[in-house]
Amino acid sequence: MNDSRYRTRPFRDGDFEPISRLITRLQPDQPITSEELRQWFLIFRDPRFTRLDLIVEERSSAAFAGYGTLYHVPDMYHPRRFWAEVAVDPDHQHRGIGRTLYNQVEELARARSAEILWSSVWTDELRSVRFFGQAGFIERRRRWGSRLDLGITSPTTRGGEPIRLPPGVTFTTLAEEGADRRDVQERLYHLELATSRDEPRMEVMTDISFEQYSEYAFHGPRYFPEAVFLARAGDEYVAMTTLTHLPAEPGVLMVGFTGTLPDYRGRGLATELKRRAMEFARASGFRYLKTFNDSENPAIWAINRKLGFQIQRVRMTGEKKFGP
């Protein structure tokens, strides 16, 4: 660390709380709790996955000043391709901490023979965008957060097109199917794998195990089985959309993954599932729905836009390639 007032140390279990506070301070529209962070870390118990976290603190007071992290992305695993993040507390910015942290994270990547490093910044943070380019990152795509105000949006909106329900298809929820049943969970796991293969990513999709999927899909503070909406044909689930709790925002639900099997696309199933999710959230007393959309997935954004979602903030994602 260039500034002698600070030092870098490895991550400790007690750091979940200050990291969650920092993330919430830097992006108050996307707050997070320490319990949510802890749940996310569980997937990195897989020995294939690298996750290295660096903490910066003041020498005199041990006050938390920022963190940097390098990790494999579980659902697009490549041994030499990593995601990097750096965040500095506003009270400690403009002291070279962010640049030093990034350099340390990049050295960790180079030591592991990295081919590619991915990262992202908010487009309205101009200093971060400038640093992004100076560090050698090239923009690949954008991802925006959007919000739906359930107080002014009718849940009966269908996005303009009438639903053409395929024969034998019915609608249900994970709670109705039996959220604790292993066979139900496995069918949902296989549906999400099958329908997410053409979801935009920075890298080719790799499958995670059922056990890893279970860590975040069926456990943790965001889990909400009554809000996992499914279309089924016989014993097969053919489409899904999910809502999850946001513990740091009690009146808000997050729209998670939405997917439909190829043979059932173009029938309005995704729109109908989203409409049902809206109706459920509004009837349950929630005020807002939030979601993220990728610039390379216009079909889902078209549905969300017709349903009334409004863009709040845009995040730019890029990559840096290393030489041999």
Distance, CA of 176 to CA of 178 (rounded, Å): 6
Encoded tokens for 250: 């009690």
Mean per-residue pLDDT, 8-30: 95
Encoded tokens for 155: 């849940």
Q: What is the pLDDT of residues 63-78, one digit of tens each?
A: 999 999 999 999 999 9
Least confident interval from 56-60, 226-230, 264-268, 276-280: 264-268
Q: Are residues 150 and 220 in the same domain?
A: yes
Distance, CA of 113 to CA of 31 (rounded, Å): 34
pLDDT band for position 159 (50/70/90)? Answer: very low
pLDDT-above-70 percentage for the chain: 96
Q: Are residues 234 and 106 in the same domain?
A: no
Last residue of a domain, one of 114, 135, 156: 114
Residue 136 maps to a domain: no
Distance, CA of 193 to CA of 274 (rounded, Å): 19
Q: Are residues 242 and 160 in the same domain?
A: yes
Query: Domain range for residue 163?
Result: 146-314
Chain centre distance of CA 275: 22
The total number of structural domains in the chain stands at 2
Distance, CA of 193 to CA of 47 (rounded, Å): 21
User: How much is the pLDDT for 198?
Assistant: 84
User: How much is the pLDDT for 167?
Assistant: 78
Q: Are residues 91 and 150 in the same domain?
A: no
Q: Are residues 90 and 174 in the same domain?
A: no
Q: Are residues 96 and 167 in the same domain?
A: no
Q: Are residues 107 and 150 in the same domain?
A: no
Tokens 């301070």 -> residue:
25
Distance, CA of 125 to CA of 129 (rounded, Å): 6
Q: Is the pLDDT of residue 51 over 90?
A: yes
Mean per-residue pLDDT, 74-84: 96
Encoded tokens for 116: 């590619």
User: How much is the pLDDT for 96?
Assistant: 93
Q: What is the pLDDT of residues 231-280, one digit of tens each?
A: 999 989 999 999 999 999 999 999 999 999 999 998 889 989 999 999 99
Q: Kindly report the CATH number assigned to the domain that includes residue 16.
A: 3.40.630.30
